[in-house]
Chain A
Amino acid sequence: MAYSEKLVDHYENPRNVGSFDKGDDSVGTGLVGAPACGDVMKLQIKVSPEGLIEDAKFKTFGCGSAIASSSLVTEWVKGKSLDEAATIKNTDIAQHLALPPVKIHCSVLAEDAIKAAIADYKAKHGQS
Chain B
Amino acid sequence: MADGNSDQIGGEVRPNIQLPIYLDYQATTPLDPRVLDAMMPYFTGKFGNPHSRSHSYGWDAEEAVEASREQVAKLIGADPREIIFTSGATESNNLAIKGVALFNKDRRNEIVTVVTEHKCVLDTCRHLEQEGFKVTYLTVKTNGLIDLDELRAAVNDKTVLVSVMAVNNEIGVIQPIAEIAKIAHEKGALFHTDAAQAAGKIPLDVNAMGIDLMSISGHKIYGPKGIGALYVRRKPRVRLVAQMNGGGQERGMRSGTLSPALCVGIGEACRIAREEMAAEAVRLDALAHRFHDKVKAKLPDVFLNGDETQRIPGNLNLSFAYVEGESLIMGIKDLAVSSGSACTSASLEPSYVLRALGVEEELAHTSIRFGFGRFTTEAEIDYAAETIIARVSKLREMSPLWEMVQDGIDIKSIQWADH
Contacts and interface: CB of A to CB of B under 8 A. Distances in A.
Q: Do A and B bind each other?
A: yes
Interface of A: 1, 3, 11, 14, 17, 19, 31-42, 58-64, 66-67, 102, 105
A40 B398 contact: no
Nearest to A105: B348
Interface string B393-410: 000011111110000000
A11 B348 contact: no
Contacts of B327: 11, 62-64, 66-67
Given A1-B344, A32-B417, A62-B324, A67 B361 contact: no
B346 A61 contact: no
B244 interface: no
B348 A35 contact: no
Q: A-side binding surface: helix, strand, loop or mixed? A: mixed
Interface string B51-95: 000000000000000000000000000000000000000000000
Nearest to A19: B403
Given A33-B417, A34-B416, A35-B416, A61 B343 contact: no
A16 B389 CA distance: 22
B323 interface: yes
Interface residues of B, number: 30
B400 A61 contact: yes
B350 A38 contact: yes
A35 B397 contact: no
Contact of A60 (B346, B348, B362, B398): B398
A12 to B, nearest CB: 8
Given A1-B344, A36-B419, A38-B365, A61 B401 contact: yes
A35 B400 CA distance: 10
Q: B-side binding surface: helix, strand, loop or mixed? A: loop
B365 A33 contact: no
B362 A36 contact: yes
A99 B239 CA distance: 53
Interface string B317-354: 00000111111001100000000010110101010000
Contacts of B417: 32-34
B57 to A, nearest CB: 47
B400 A31 contact: yes
Nearest to B419: A37
Contact of B400 (A3, A37, A38, A59): A59
Contacts of A35: 361-362, 365, 401, 411, 416
B397 A38 contact: no
* From A31, A33, A34, A58, residue with most partner B Cβ within 10 Å: A34
Contact of B419 (A34, A41, A102): A34
Given A1-B344, A11-B330, A32-B417, A39 B398 contact: no
